[in-house]
């Protein structure tokens, strides 16, 4: 069975002496940093290894992000050590119950109706939307010091509260220089206490969305990331293990399907969530399912695969363990997954997202596969990976 993002934190916990579930065979060390480069796909890195020789040389294995391959799902799966069927953050946006009926909820921004809608932290507290303890909380309870090397705005964001949940020392990092400094500061100490740091860098993903993955602008950011990681490997003490990964990869769209312009797709439909590569479709009533499935399948033809919620659950799209009812209800009555390089856009409600060149979420290797890049400061040791 392939490794997944959800395998990283259980392996880190085992390396700290917490439990025996160590799927990656990570060796013990005093400190561990997990650095997420948003949008760093394994296939993209392999095709552009000349722009990122350090990253490419230190790939220990390839992981799958999980479905859907999108930031709020992947970061929560990483922090929880479990897929979204367990933690319930099942997409970029999805329906949550409200007093007047289901409400569309953007999990990345923690806002209502759209990425720019009302702040949802009061109406939908992160700790209730995702109530399970994270693996970071487990580490903290075990005596491991928690640190975060992230943009300052993320410290109290809804997604951070829902996924990571553990209090810790913040090292604000709005750019690569601050990221490098924060990680080095975290790892440079003379004590014997164990420390864990979660670090994050967004610009590769942002640039890929705006200019396309593998564009000159994207390659320039990749080179900068590679130089930063090279500096970290040269500067970190041997007492610190560095794990670098991505939350998803990316494809560049070549066929744009405007869902807003297709009236048949809105018949009996209450809400459309998700994002351009994976759509959750919520119906007005249960008895409309058969006809709606036929309409969506016929309208989207070769551009997307459309299935019912029940089929997706039977095929374990969201994880092997069946979700609890509260999570099941968040999944669309229909799920439309774009194929090839098609995107299913909604310009009226998602103007920024619909204008993007780069997208992710679906089943292609370019979207699903992410590298696990490893090193341990001066020694450049790597996890012992089980065959």
So what's the pLDDT on residue 2?
A: 82
pLDDT grade for 381, boundaries at 50, 70 and 90: very low
Instruction: Say what the pTM is.
Output: 0.96
What architecture (CATH level 2) is domain 255-355? 2-Layer Sandwich (3.30)
So what's the pLDDT on residue 1?
A: 60
Answer for the pair 305, 361: CB distance below 8 angstroms, yes or no. no
pLDDT grade for 19, boundaries at 50, 70 and 90: confident
pLDDT tens digits, one per residue of 33-45: 999 999 999 999 9
Res. 315: pLDDT tops 80: yes
| 3-class DSSP assignment, residue 301 | helix
List all residues 6 or more positions away from 344 whose beta carbon is below 8 Å from its beta carbon: 257, 259, 276, 277, 279, 300, 303, 304, 336, 338
CA–CA separation, 59 and 165 (whole Å): 29
Q: Report how far apart, in Å, the C-alpha atoms of 53 and of each of 167, 181, 226, 227 are.
A: 35, 22, 7, 9
**Domain limits, the chain:** 5-86+130-249+364-376, 255-355
pLDDT tens digits, one per residue of 273-307: 999 999 999 999 999 999 999 999 999 999 999 99
Lowest mean pLDDT among 160-174, 177-191, 371-385: 371-385
**Homologous superfamily in CATH for domain 5-86+130-249+364-376:** Alkaline Phosphatase, subunit A (3.40.720.10)
Instruction: Give the residue-averaged pLDDT of 9-27.
Output: 94
pLDDT grade for 382, boundaries at 50, 70 and 90: low
Res. 359: pLDDT tops 50: yes
Distance of CA 376 to the CA centre of its chain: 24
The first and second tokens of residue 77, run together, are 């799966």
pLDDT grade for 100, boundaries at 50, 70 and 90: confident
CA–CA separation, 250 and 259 (whole Å): 21
pLDDT tens digits, one per residue of 319-358: 999 999 999 999 999 999 999 999 999 999 999 999 999 9
């Amino acid at each position: 069975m392939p490794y997944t993002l959800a395998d990283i934190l259980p392996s880190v916990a085992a390396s700290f002496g917490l439990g025996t579930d160590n799927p990656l065979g990570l060796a013990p060390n005093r400190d561990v940093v997990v650095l997420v480069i948003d949008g760093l796909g394994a296939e993209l890195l392999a095709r552009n290894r000349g722009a990122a020789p350090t990253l490419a040389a230190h790939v220990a294995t390839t992981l799958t992000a999980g479905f859907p391959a999108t930031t709020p799902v992947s970061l929560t799966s990483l922090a929880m050590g479990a897929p979204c069927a367990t933690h319930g953050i099942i997409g970029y946006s999805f329906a949550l119950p409200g007093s007047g009926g289901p409400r569309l909820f953007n999990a990345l921004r923690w806002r209502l109706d759209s990425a720019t809608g009302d702040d949802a932290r009061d109406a939908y507290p992160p700790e209730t939307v995702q109530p399970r303890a994270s693996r970071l909380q487990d580490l903290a309870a075990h005596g491991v010091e928690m640190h975060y090397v992230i943009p300052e705005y993320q410290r109290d964001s809804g997604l951070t509260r829902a996924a990571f949940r553990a209090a810790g020392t913040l090292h604000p990092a709005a750019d690569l220089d601050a990221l490098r400094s924060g990680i080095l500061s975290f790892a440079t100490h003379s004590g014997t206490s164990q420390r864990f740091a979660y670090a994050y860098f967004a610009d590769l993903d942002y640039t890929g969305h705006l200019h396309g993955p593998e564009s000159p602008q994207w390659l320039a950011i990749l080179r900068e990331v590679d130089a930063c990681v090279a500096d970290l490997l040269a500067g970190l003490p041997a007492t610190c293990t560095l794990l670098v990964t991505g939350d998803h990869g990316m494809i560049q769209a070549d066929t744009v399907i405007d869902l807003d312009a297709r009236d048949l797709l809105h018949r009996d439909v209450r809400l459309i969530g998700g994002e351009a590569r994976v759509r959750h479709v919520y119906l007005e009533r249960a008895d409309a399912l058969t006809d709606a499935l036929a309409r969506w399948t016929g309208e989207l033809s070769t551009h997307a695969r459309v299935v019912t919620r029940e089929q997706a659950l039977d095929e374990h799209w969201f994880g092997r363990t069946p979700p609890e009812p509260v999570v099941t209800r968040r999944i669309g009555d229909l799920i439309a997954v774009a194929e090839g390089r098609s995107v299913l856009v909604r310009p009226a409600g998602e103007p920024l997202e619909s204008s993007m060149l780069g997208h992710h979420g679906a089943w292609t290797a370019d979207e699903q596969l992410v590298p696990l890049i490893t090193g341990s400061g001066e020694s450049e040791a790597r996890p012992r990976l089980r065959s």
